[in-house]
Amino acid sequence: NNDTLNNVIPDDDDEPLDLGKQYAEDWTPENRTVNELFEDAVLAYLEENWDRCIEDFNAVLHGYKAYKRMITNCRKKCRSKADGDEPIYPENIDDLHFYEKKVKETLCLLMCNNEYREIAGAKALKTLPRETEQKLVDHRVYEYLHICYYQKKRYQDAANALFTFVIAHPDHETSLQALASYLTLPGVEADSVVNLETAAYVSMYFKAVSAYEDENYVRAVGLFEASLNSYLHEEDECRFYCEGPFDQGWHPEFISSVANHFTYCLKCKQACSNILNNLNGEFRKDMLRNHYNYLQFSYYKLGNLKAACSAVESYLLFDPVDETMLQNKNYYSAQPKVKEEYFTPRQEVVNYLKRQEYEYALLRYISKEFAIIEANYLKLTNIKTPKNETKDSKDKELGKKPDFETALHTPPGHALFSHVNLSKYFSTSREHREYKIDDTEQPRVKEDIYLIAKEEDLDGKNRYVADGFLNSTDCESLMKFAYMNVVEGDGYNENKSPHSKYERFEGITIGRTALMVYFGKIDRKWLELLLEKTELVREHVEKYFGLHRHLYFSYTHLVCRTALPDSPVDRDDLSHQVHADNCLLRDKDTCLRESPAYVWRDYSAILYLNDDFQGGEFFFAKDSVTRELDYVILPRCGRMVAFSAGGENLHGVRGVIRGRRCALALWFTQDKRYLEYERVLASAVLERVRSIGPLEEKNVQVPLKYEDVLVDYATNDESLRYFLKNSS
Ligand SMILES: O=C(O)CCC(=O)C(=O)O
Ligand SMILES: [Fe+2]
């Protein structure tokens, strides 16, 4: 199909793509390393030397680009060189060909990196310290830069810099507010505010769309091909940049070390497309495939039916049942000149999707298979609960052991944006697509829930662990929701530290969420997401335990436990002491099913939202006196642990040492009298908001004790009453 790729790019002002050497040559940092430049720039900022601040931070950005290009260029060059080399010995015994290649690649990398450093001056491209690199990855430069621009009254530049920062930190409230005020400054045009870190293909893509809309198909084809090329090239760069160092933090065996580092890189690589598909803060999962859509029509208009058919077939690889594209296919097939073999997808997209599918399947395999090993490993080493725990080095190492399932880490070079839509401030493109909560680029099967551990694995009755209730987008959404809305003391009778003085406990209930939706304070999609995902869990638990009587929700609580900044790393208390959910633990063998225990609770489930914190493991306990851990479960996005709520399932949570741990705690009952009334109200609120919108009252606040307010409205608001009646 190569004829599709030979179009001249009818364009003038785009940068050449491979800038590695050129950057290195341009790179004259007056003998300062990128790191030194960064430090100097911060200093200039602190000294309020705004001109130097602007100059130095721009030099940092420039230098970092050169640094990144150097690294990715070397990795790319050395990979293809090693791939093309004849092996020393023709036969591939014991995978030696693979290792030979890696040895040769290493040699090449050493030399290549040196070459660049020589061109750029001895110190210029010196390896960046990890913390500085992370700041660059997180676009922290713009956090300073906008202020320096602002001070110099360069308002449009300030707005651009701040916008760029906000896209990487969509929850940064003060920056969002500052951005809004920048937009009102003289000379600032909201429409021309840009993300300074937009992927390079994007501008080409939009030029292509314009050409297409102007019916200039020759230009459109050239630009779309160039943009496509650039997209794949940029994704490639991002992937190579992912192949960086990795602190294993322990001393693994050779094979484990290779596999562990490989997994780490793979996760990073899988996130690359998220970055490319984030246009000015708006997530557009279809960017790659859209190219083929435009191309098929443009080629058709130019009379190149072979290329048109090939583009159609390429598009269909992404979505084989797309009706419009299938109609196009029929239409083209009916053309007299079209041959069957024209419908061959383009090679680059076949390779791309095959790799994607393989990598995704491999990651799923890893997360599924290793979860159980991690847990068994922890169990085998027989950790005691922190009370009698002595923190020896072995134990510390152990804490780092399960690296296979570390958080989806941010790929170096880019922040992993959450999917926010900033287009309320700015319109960026002609096509507009609704923001959907669960858009994911990865191919996914619907029924993604799989069992991780059952009774036998867990040495106990009526307990199991399953994964896959939430995908990473759901978790990101819910974490964001939690971040913005959880309230100290909510659901704990206003007690802010009910379990540990080293942690802040915050929660939000269904009732509070419903009230906020009702007052128009938050979008209803959050409530919908909460109800939908927790219902998925309820159904699973009911089915899994083979219950013949209906399982009702009795209480739903999104809880975050955050380690306080000054909490000691070697603290020896638990985040949640050993307990049972429906009885009072008295001594080793007695659990009294009486008030004030929640005796009506029959089953419990905890659905986890994140794992980017330290500590906070859930555990089943043998008994409360020896406090011996029976089985440890590591929270992960979408993982659920479920168990019957009595004394047979004593459990607790180890202290959260660092970071924030959020989970949805769900309690179920088979006694209808105790069903969660807030859920019924929430459904009525949703119905109301869907049909007539939220309440028209301004400035209503949700108090800490919100329950009475909710009931008040439910009894007095006619429309709510209507929906309530209809639901029951
Ligand atoms: O968050 C967890 O993992 C468990 C919490 C728990 O057991 C409870 O709230 O009763
Ligand atoms: Fe519990």
One-character DSSP codes across 28-82:
--TT--HHHHHHHHHHHHHTT-HHHHHHHHHHHHHHHHHHHHHHHHHHHHHHHHH
Residue-wise pLDDT tens digits, 328-353: 999 999 999 899 999 999 999 999 99
What is the signed CA dihedral for 97, 102, 107, 111, rounded to 10 degrees?
Answer: 130
Q: What is the DSSP letter of 451?
A: E
Give the mean model confidence (pLDDT) for residues 484-513. Answer: 78
Least confident segment among 403-417, 462-476, 541-555, 580-594: 403-417
| Residues across the chain | 728
Question: CA 508, 510, 516: angle at the middle one, nearest 5?
Answer: 80
The backbone region for 618, taken as left when phi is positive above 0, alpha when psi lies in -120 to 50, beta otherwise, is: beta
Euclidean distance between the first and the last CA atom of the chain, given in angstroms as a whole number: 61
Query: Which residue, chain included where needed, has tokens 């036969």?
Result: 91
Q: Which atom of ligand 1 is closest in space to residue 561's alpha carbon? A: 1
Q: Which ligand is nearest to the CA of 505?
A: 1
Please report the atom of ligand 1 found closest to the CA of residue 616: 3
For ligand 1, mutation pick of 503, 506, 603, 618 (most atoms within 8 Å of CB): 618
Distance CA 687, CA 19 (A): 55
Give the closest residue (by CA) to ligand 1 atom 10: 581
The amino acid occupying position 317 is: L
CA 343 – CA 146 distance, rounded (Å)? 51
- Mean pLDDT across the stretch 688-707? 84
Residues in a beta bridge with 587: 590
Q: What is the pLDDT of residue 16?
A: 33
Q: For residue range 515-531, what is the model confidence (pLDDT) as tens digits?
A: 999 988 889 999 999 99
Contact 532, 470 (CB under 8 A): no
- Residues 615 and 688 sit within 8 Å (Cβ to Cβ): no
Give the Å distance between the CA of 666 and the centre of ligand 2. 9
- Residue 1 to residues 64, 94, 225, 345, Cα–Cα distance (Å): 38, 37, 13, 9
Q: Check residue 213 and report its DSSP letter.
A: H
C-alpha 684 chain-centroid distance? 32
Pocket test for ligand 1, best of 463, 651, 660 (most atoms within 8 A of CB): 651
pLDDT value for 7: 31
Condensed to tens digits (0 to 9), the pLDDT of residues 365-406 reads 887 777 665 555 545 444 433 333 333 333 322 223 333 322
The Cα–Cα gap between 259 and 254 comes to: 9
The confidence score (pLDDT) of residue 723 equals 86
CA 640 to centroid of ligand 1, rounded, Å: 11
**539-579 pLDDT tens trace:** 999 999 999 899 999 999 999 999 887 777 777 788 998 89
Ligand 2 midpoint to CA 652 (Å):
7
H/E run at residue 237? helix 217-241
Cα(364)–Cα(384) distance, integer angstroms: 31
Question: Which H helix or E strand runs over 514?
Answer: helix 510-518
CA of 604 to the centre of ligand 2 (A): 7
Question: For residue 652, which ligand has an atom nearest its CA?
Answer: 1
Check whether 54 has a pLDDT greater than 70. yes
Closest CA to 561 of 665, 663, 666, 660: 660
Q: Is this model's pTM higher than 0.80 or not?
A: no
pLDDT value of position 443:
29
Q: How many whole angstroms separate alpha carbon 393 and alpha carbon 375?
A: 19
* CB 407, CB 611: distance < 8 Å: yes
Closest CA to 659 of 557, 569, 524: 569
What does the pLDDT read at residue 78?
A: 95
Pairing of strands 552-563, 603-608: unpaired
CA distance 457 to 651: 16
Higher per-residue pLDDT: 186 or 490: 186
Q: How far is CA 618 from the centre of its chain?
A: 23
Query: Does residue 713 register a pLDDT over 80?
Result: yes
Q: Which of 612, 602, 603, 615 is nearest to 568 (CA)?
A: 615
% the chain with pLDDT above 70: 81
The pLDDT, as a whole number, for residue 260 is 87
The first and second tokens of residue 389, run together, are 């725990």
pLDDT for res 243? 95
Q: Which atom of ligand 1 is nearest to the CA of 661?
A: 1
pLDDT of residue 109: 92
* Cβ atoms of 508 and 482 closer than 8 Å: yes
CA-proximal residue: ligand 1, atom 3 (nearest): 618
**120 CA → ligand 1 middle, Å:** 55
**Cα dihedral sign for 336, 339, 343, 346?**
negative
Span from the CA of 650 to the centroid of ligand 2 (angstroms): 8
How do beta strands 487-488 and 640-644 pair?
A: unpaired
What number does the ligand 1 atom closest to the CA of 667 have?
Answer: 10
Which amino acid, residue 54?
A: I
Does residue 687 carry a pLDDT above 60? Answer: yes
CA 363 to each of CA 225, 358, 403, 473, 633: distance values in angstroms, whole numbers, following the listed order: 31, 9, 13, 16, 20
Specify the ligand 1 atom closest to the Cα of 663: 1
* 3 state SS of 270: helix
State the average pLDDT over residues 6-29.
41
Q: What gap in Å lies between CA 621 and CA 579, rounded to an integer?
A: 9
* Pocket lined around ligand 1, Cβ cut-off 6 Å: 576, 581, 606, 618, 651, 653, 663, 665
12 CA to centre of own chain: 37
pLDDT, one tens digit per residue, over 245-272 is 887 777 888 998 899 899 989 989 988 9
**Six-digit token pair at 683?**
């459904």
Q: How far apart are CA 674 and CA 571, in angstroms?
A: 38
Q: Cα of 167 to ligand 2 centre, how many Å?
A: 38
What 3-state DSSP class applies to 602? coil
How many A from CA of 491 to the centre of ligand 1?
A: 13
Distance CA 314, CA 346 (A): 6
Residue 501 tokens, joined: 């003085």
What is residue 368's predicted lDDT score, i.e. its pLDDT? 74
Say whether the peptide bond before residue 16 is cis (omega within 30 degrees of 0).
no
pLDDT at 131: 86
Which residue's CA is the closest to the ligand 1 atom numbered 7?
A: 652
The strand ranges marked E within 593-702 are: 603-608, 614-615, 618-621, 629-633, 640-644, 651-654, 656-658, 660-669
pLDDT for residue 424? 26
pLDDT band at 458 (very low <50, low <70, confident <90, very high): confident
Cα-to-centroid distance, 653 and ligand 2 (Å): 9
Which of 281-285, 374-378, 421-425 has the lowest average pLDDT? 421-425
Average pLDDT of span 111-130: 74
Point out the ligand 1 atom lying closest to the alpha carbon of residue 618: 3
- Going through 261-369 in order, the beta strands assigned E by DSSP cover 278-279, 282-283
Do 286 and 267 meet the contact criterion of CB atoms below 8 Å apart?
Answer: no
Element containing residue 325 per DSSP (H, E): helix 323-333
Q: Which of 653, 661, 662, 668 to mutate to test the pocket of ligand 1 (most atoms within 8 A of CB)?
A: 653
Measured from the Cβ of residue 534, the count of other Cβ atoms closer than 10 Å reads 20
What pLDDT does residue 700 have? 79
Distance from Cα 604 to the centre of ligand 1, integer Å: 9
Residue 622 has pLDDT above 50, yes or no: yes
